[in-house]
């Protein structure tokens, strides 16, 4: 059996004990899973432990396969192994090592002994591709580990209730908080089915008050998708009610608690500003006009009961979230990879966006920063016109951007939804976040795309690699 070795090492701004605890907590697996890889555990694996097995369903091109790994040889504060029991390799033995440097720093080392099937022929045919994929995956994993631990440093554990936990943002936030030692209670529609769940009535937003007593924070992200179909009168009603009715109900419940949370973070959107052309907008700017602007205004006003009760309320105006795992970015990437990408309409409309990793970090920052309340724009500091956004996306993907989609075609295909989501624009800046000291990890579009898509270039900071 022809065996190969791969080692990745990176400095980490945390002690070896902290690094070890982070890896062993629930949520760490989800944080470390590269978003561009189609890896689907049948259920969340939870915290790892001696002898525990994790089942993953994966794909190699069009071919699905199973990978079963078993965790072994735990050394508290120093490391553990995961060994393939079933999967695509003839052998896979992964040592996770946490090497102390001093009380506040350590080295993360991932050392893998592996062998491809079919012996020397397998290594000849697939060896270079495996090495390339390993470098890509561990560049992502090490960068994310270091950043997460830096963000958690010095923060006390919180008890957080979260609605919308199964969505793109909510699932990433849940994993981030849990891997950092926070306790997350997920609000679910209907009856709770697990110890960490809180059931609520989706039609009325109702939840039993006693289930929310003594929480540190409540994060409300749930709401009907605005991009899953034409805005018929019925869909407009559902979009509005799923935000306004539930926000008002939650705010009223929190306001009546004997021990209310210190903070309520209620999602809103940059649609609050409407279609504003080249105007530079921050949190002090007036609301715009149209369905989205009116919905966002009512959405934000719905949490007034919590404000009156003295709860610190943050109205989070979220831009277009860029994530390889879902949302808008995969829909953008597919036509570009096929050579069919281009600007939308005349391309002059501004797109205010934020990387998923920065959105999760900003929510955590706002949970912990007692001084910040009111409206906060959750966008990167670099909004771009659509024509510039598409040009940068094409450059990162190494594809052309030559086929514009005319505005008339968008309106015919998508109606008011196409106008509101693709042709209208707002140039929004995150002034409150910047003034409060939040640091964006991906402030430019290129940085965000390369991190989410795993398309790292020579300018990307990488671990030190050993291969043989």
Q: What is the CATH number of the domain that holds 224?
A: 3.40.50.720
Q: What does the pLDDT read at residue 122?
A: 56
Determine, yes or no, domain membership for 438: yes
> Which residue, among 138, 93, 137, has the nearest Cα to 3 in the 3D structure?
93
Determine, yes or no, domain membership for 467: no
Residue 8: domain span: 4-153
Determine, yes or no, domain membership for 191: yes
Domain finish residue from 121, 153, 185: 153
> Which residue, among 256, 170, 171, has the nearest Cα to 211 in the 3D structure?
256
User: What's the CA gap between 307 and 401, in Å, rounded?
Assistant: 47
Q: Are residues 83 and 165 in the same domain?
A: no
Residue 395: partners with Cβ closer than 8 Å, 6 or more residues away: 446
Determine, yes or no, domain membership for 121: yes
> HSE (CB half, 13 Å, CA atoms) of 431?
11
Determine, yes or no, domain membership for 461: no
Q: Are residues 109 and 181 in the same domain?
A: no
Q: Are residues 314 and 442 in the same domain?
A: yes
Q: Are residues 68 and 209 in the same domain?
A: no
Determine, yes or no, domain membership for 103: yes
Residue 195: partners with Cβ closer than 8 Å, 6 or more residues away: none
Pairing label, strands 350-351, 384-385? antiparallel
- Inter-residue long-range contacts of 406-410, CB under 8 Å, 24+ positions, other chains counted: 406/345, 407/344, 407/345, 407/346, 410/344, 410/345
Determine, yes or no, domain membership for 458: no
Q: What does the pLDDT read at residue 62?
A: 76
Q: Are residues 372 and 280 in the same domain?
A: yes
Per residue of the chain (468 residues), give pLDDT as tens: 578 999 999 999 999 999 999 999 999 999 999 999 877 765 666 677 788 888 888 877 777 889 999 999 999 899 999 999 999 899 999 999 999 999 999 999 999 999 998 776 556 656 688 899 999 999 999 999 999 999 999 999 999 999 999 999 999 999 999 999 999 999 988 888 788 889 887 666 578 888 899 999 999 999 888 887 888 999 999 999 989 999 999 999 999 999 999 999 999 999 999 999 999 999 999 999 999 999 999 999 999 999 999 999 999 999 999 999 999 999 999 999 999 999 999 999 999 999 999 999 999 999 999 999 999 999 999 999 999 999 999 999 999 998 998 888 888 888 888 888 888 999 999 999 999 999 999 999 999 999 999 999 888 889 999 998
> Which residue, among 182, 169, 240, 260, has the nearest Cα to 21 in the 3D structure?
182
Determine, yes or no, domain membership for 466: no
Q: Are residues 97 and 240 in the same domain?
A: no
The total of structural domains in the chain comes to 2
Q: What does the pLDDT read at residue 38?
A: 79
User: What's the CA gap between 433 and 372, in Å, rounded?
Assistant: 9
Q: What does the pLDDT read at residue 45?
A: 66
Q: What does the pLDDT read at residue 186?
A: 94
Q: What is the DSSP letter of 190?
A: B
Q: Are residues 146 and 273 in the same domain?
A: no
User: What's the CA gap between 410 and 342, in Å, rounded?
Assistant: 13
Q: What does the pLDDT read at residue 149?
A: 97
Cross-strand partners of 94: 82, 112
Q: What does the pLDDT read at residue 229?
A: 81
User: What's the CA gap between 385 and 171, in Å, rounded?
Assistant: 29
Q: Are residues 268 and 229 in the same domain?
A: yes
> What is the CATH number for 118?
3.30.530.20
- Start-end of H helices in 309-385: 328-337, 356-368
Edge-to-edge order in the sheet of strand 312-318: 197-200, 183-189, 159-163, 217-220, 263-269, 312-318, 374-378
Q: Are residues 114 and 203 in the same domain?
A: no
Domain finish residue from 127, 153, 179: 153
Domain finish residue from 153, 168, 203: 153
Q: Are residues 171 and 126 in the same domain?
A: no
Q: How big is the chain, counted in residues?
A: 468
Q: Are residues 136 and 177 in the same domain?
A: no
- Helix 356-368 and helix 168-179: axis angle, to 10°? 60
> HSE (CB half, 13 Å, CA atoms) of 229?
8
Residue 286: partners with Cβ closer than 8 Å, 6 or more residues away: none
Phi and psi for 32 in degrees, rounded to 5?
Answer: -85, -10
Q: What does the pLDDT read at residue 41?
A: 65
Phi and psi for 238 in degrees, rounded to 5?
Answer: -65, -40
Q: Are residues 48 and 187 in the same domain?
A: no
Decide: helix, strand or coil at residue 323: coil
């Amino acid at each position: 059996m022809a065996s190969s070795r791969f080692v990745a090492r990176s400095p980490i701004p945390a002690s070896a004990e902290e690094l070890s605890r982070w890896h062993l907590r629930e949520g760490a697996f989800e944080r470390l899973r590269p978003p561009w890889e189609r890896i689907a555990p049948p259920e969340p694996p939870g915290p790892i432990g001696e002898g525990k097995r994790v089942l993953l369903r994966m794909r190699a091109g069009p071919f699905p396969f199973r990978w079963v790994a078993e965790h072994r040889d735990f050394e508290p504060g120093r490391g553990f192994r995961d060994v393939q029991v079933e999967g695509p390799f003839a052998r896979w033995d992964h040592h996770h090592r946490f090497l102390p440097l001093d009380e506040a720093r350590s080295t993360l080392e991932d050392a893998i002994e592996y062998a491809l099937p079919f012996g020397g022929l397998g290594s000849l045919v697939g060896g270079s591709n495996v090495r390339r994929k390993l470098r890509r995956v561990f560049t992502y994993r090490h960068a994310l580990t270091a950043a997460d631990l830096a963000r958690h440093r010095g923060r006390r554990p919180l008890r957080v209730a979260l609605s919308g936990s199964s969505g793109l943002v909510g699932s990433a936030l849940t994993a981030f908080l849990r891997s950092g030692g926070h306790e997350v209670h997920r609000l679910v529609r209907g009856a709770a089915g697990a110890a960490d769940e809180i059931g609520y009535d989706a039609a009325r937003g109702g939840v039993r008050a006693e289930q929310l007593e003594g929480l540190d924070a409540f994060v409300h992200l749930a709401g009907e998708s605005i991009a899953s179909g034409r805005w018929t009168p019925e869909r407009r009603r559902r979009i509005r009610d799923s935000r306004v009715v539930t926000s008002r109900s939650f705010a009223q419940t929190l306001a009546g608690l004997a021990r209310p949370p210190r903070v309520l973070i209620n999602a809103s959107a940059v649609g609050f500003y409407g279609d504003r052309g080249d105007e530079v907008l921050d949190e002090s700017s007036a609301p715009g006009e149209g369905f989205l602007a009116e919905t966002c205004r009512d959405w934000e006003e719905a949490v007034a009961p919590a404000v009156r009760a003295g709860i610190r309320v943050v109205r989070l105006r979220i831009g277009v979230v860029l994530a390889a795992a879902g949302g808008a970015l995969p829909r953008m990437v597919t036509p570009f990879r096929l050579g069919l990408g281009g600007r939308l309409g005349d391309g002059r409309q501004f797109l205010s966006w934020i990387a998923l990793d920065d959105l999760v970090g900003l929510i955590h920052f706002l949970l912990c920063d007692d001084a910040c309340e009111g409206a906060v724009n959750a966008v990167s500091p670099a909004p771009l016109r659509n024509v510039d956004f598409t040009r940068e996306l094409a450059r990162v993907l190494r594809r052309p951007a030559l086929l514009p989609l005319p505005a008339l075609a968008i309106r015919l295909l998508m109606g008011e939804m196409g106008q509101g989501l693709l042709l209208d624009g707002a140039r929004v800046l995150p002034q409150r976040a910047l003034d409060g000291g939040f640091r964006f990890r991906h402030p430019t579009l290129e940085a965000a795309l390369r991190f989410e898509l795993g398309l790292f270039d020579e300018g990307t900071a990488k671990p030190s690699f050993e291969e043989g």
